[in-house]
Amino acid sequence: MMTKSDIPTPALVVDLPTMERNIRLMSDYFASRACKLRPHFKAHKTPEIARRQIAAGSCTGLTCATIGEAEVAATVSNDILIANEIVDADKCRRAAALAQKVGVTVAIDSVAGLEQLSRAATEAGVTLGVLVDLNVGQNRCGVAPGEEAVALGKRARTMPGLKLRGVMGYEGHAVGIHHRAEREAAVRRSMNQLSSTAKMFAEAGLPTELVSGGGTGSYDISSEVERINEIQAGSYALMDSDYGSLDTPFQQALFVLGTVVSRPVPERCVIDAGHKACTKDHGNPSVKGMKDATVLALNDEHAIIAIPPASQVRVGDRLALVPSHIDPTMNLHDVVYALDGDNVVGVWPIAARGYGRG
């Protein structure tokens, strides 16, 4: 059997028992609640992981960030939310084609986007669900909560081929706040905007079948807000050092394995995993199991690591990095090696990585 030491580096490895515990903890949390979980596929892009998330229960379907992810996620779930705007003719056609096989709902924040989706759905003879996307403080996409959202919802209802299903809003600016009370306050401010807009939808006779938001840093805050009935958390299954520094019950399951290629001086070693194997957009990774080691720099193909001069690390040894941000790190690799102890029990395609599928 292939073992950890046979894996060519740099490589992604997942500790399977830890991942399964994370998935179980999250599905248990939602099991007894009215609010359910719609795991975000963008976190890992890996059908084998999504299958386990859905099998654990408490899930309504999957959340995706792109049409390419949705096409892959549809092999695992028949209820797909693209929690992102899709506005060009080619991607709208792909969304409509996908809707011939599974339920597809897309976030919208413009009339131009509605028109493209409506045209594609009509031409394909399908119905595409739409959710009005709210800016709840992240200042990215999304219309203003309240009247502006209601107006767009009313417009959506007039468009052939589309079925308005409700509203969504992602509190991305708040999910990573370290201090629990501050995070709770910021998340509630955002989610109250989502909730009050859902109330206005209901009062205007617009559907609120889906009121969707939340992430791994806010799942147990947002899910308690009235009317919110879906949480889009993704990172909880694998985790990263950024989310790991919060007070969640989930443990680190994903690592980037590298080989020490150089120890030119006692106080420094270099491994063959750089930022083309492990992104640093949320900061440098840490080194698994070595509290006295610090990543000084991630270059393209090198992690430069400060170590105590007395360390026994030698050229040829293997070290594991703990990524600071899971989503773009997964995106760099074609496969992830599933480990049970030191045994490789699966080599899973990260089937929705990249843009080959758009």
Give the residue among 25, 84, 74 at the shortest CA–CA distance from 50: 74
Rounded to the nearest whole angstrom, what is the least distance from the CB of residue 6 to its own copies in the complex? 8
Amino acid present at 246:
L
Give the residue among 83, 131, 127, 68 at the shortest CA–CA distance from 102: 127
Amino acid present at 78:
N
By C-beta, is 40 or 227 nearer to its own copies?
40
- Does 143 contact its own copies by CB under 8 A? yes
Rounded to the nearest whole angstrom, what is the least distance from the CB of residue 268 to its own copies in the complex? 7
Residues sharing a CB contact under 8 Å with residue 225, sequence separation 6 or more, in sequence order: 188, 191, 192, 194, 195
Rounded to the nearest whole angstrom, what is the least distance from the CB of residue 171 to its own copies in the complex? 14
- Does 38 contact its own copies by CB under 8 A? no
User: Could you tell me if 198 and 147 are in contact, meaning their C-beta atoms sit under 8 angstroms apart?
Assistant: no
Give the residue among 283, 242, 260, 200 at the shortest CA–CA distance from 9: 260
Task: Report the residue from 100, 245, 262, 294 that binds its own copies according to the rule CB under 8 A.
Answer: 262
130 bridge partner residues: 106, 164
Which parts of 184-223 interact with its own copies (CB under 8 A)? none
Task: Report the residue from 192, 202, 328, 348 that binds its own copies according to the rule CB under 8 A.
Answer: 328
Task: Report the residue from 10, 129, 137, 285 that binds its own copies according to the rule CB under 8 A.
Answer: 10
By C-beta, is 206 or 271 nearer to its own copies?
271
37 bridge partner residues: 59, 231
- Does 116 contact its own copies by CB under 8 A? yes
By C-beta, is 16 or 277 nearer to its own copies?
277
- Does 97 contact its own copies by CB under 8 A? no
- Does 279 contact its own copies by CB under 8 A? yes
What b/e string do you get for 244-267 counting C-beta neighbours within 10 Å, with b at 16 or more? bebebebebbbbbbbbbeebeeee
Name the E strands within 221-267: 230-231, 254-265
Rounded to the nearest whole angstrom, what is the least distance from the CB of residue 221 to its own copies in the complex? 21
Which parts of 73-92 interact with its own copies (CB under 8 A)? 84-88, 90-91
Alpha carbons 215 and 328: distance in angstroms, whole number: 16
Rounded to the nearest whole angstrom, what is the least distance from the CB of residue 145 to its own copies in the complex? 12
Rounded to the nearest whole angstrom, what is the least distance from the CB of residue 300 to its own copies in the complex? 5
User: Could you tell me if 85 and 133 are in contact, meaning their C-beta atoms sit under 8 angstroms apart?
Assistant: yes
By C-beta, is 292 or 317 nearer to its own copies?
317
Rounded to the nearest whole angstrom, what is the least distance from the CB of residue 301 to its own copies in the complex? 5
By C-beta, is 88 or 340 nearer to its own copies?
88
Of 9-17, 123-131, 188-196, 239-247, which part binds its own copies (CB under 8 A)?
Answer: 9-17
By C-beta, is 58 or 216 nearer to its own copies?
216
Task: Report the residue from 211, 238, 332, 352 that binds its own copies according to the rule CB under 8 A.
Answer: 332
- Does 172 contact its own copies by CB under 8 A? yes
- Does 18 contact its own copies by CB under 8 A? no
55-61, long-range: CB within 8 Å, 24+ apart, which pairs?
Answer: 56/23, 56/24, 56/26, 56/27, 57/27, 57/31, 58/26, 58/27, 58/28, 58/29, 58/30, 58/31, 58/33, 59/27, 59/30, 60/36, 60/230, 61/103
Read off the DSSP letter of residue 229. Answer: -
Of 73-81, 123-131, 216-224, 313-321, which part binds its own copies (CB under 8 A)?
Answer: 313-321
Burial of 290 (0-12, 13-18, 19+ CB in 10 A): middle
Alpha carbons 307 and 175: distance in angstroms, whole number: 33
Other beta carbons within 10 angstroms of residue 182's beta carbon come to 11
Which residues of the chain form contacts with its own copies (CB under 8 A)? Answer: 8-11, 42, 65-66, 84-88, 90-91, 109-110, 112-113, 116, 135, 139-144, 172, 259-264, 268, 270, 272, 275-277, 279-281, 297-302, 304, 314-316, 327-328, 331-334, 354-356, 358
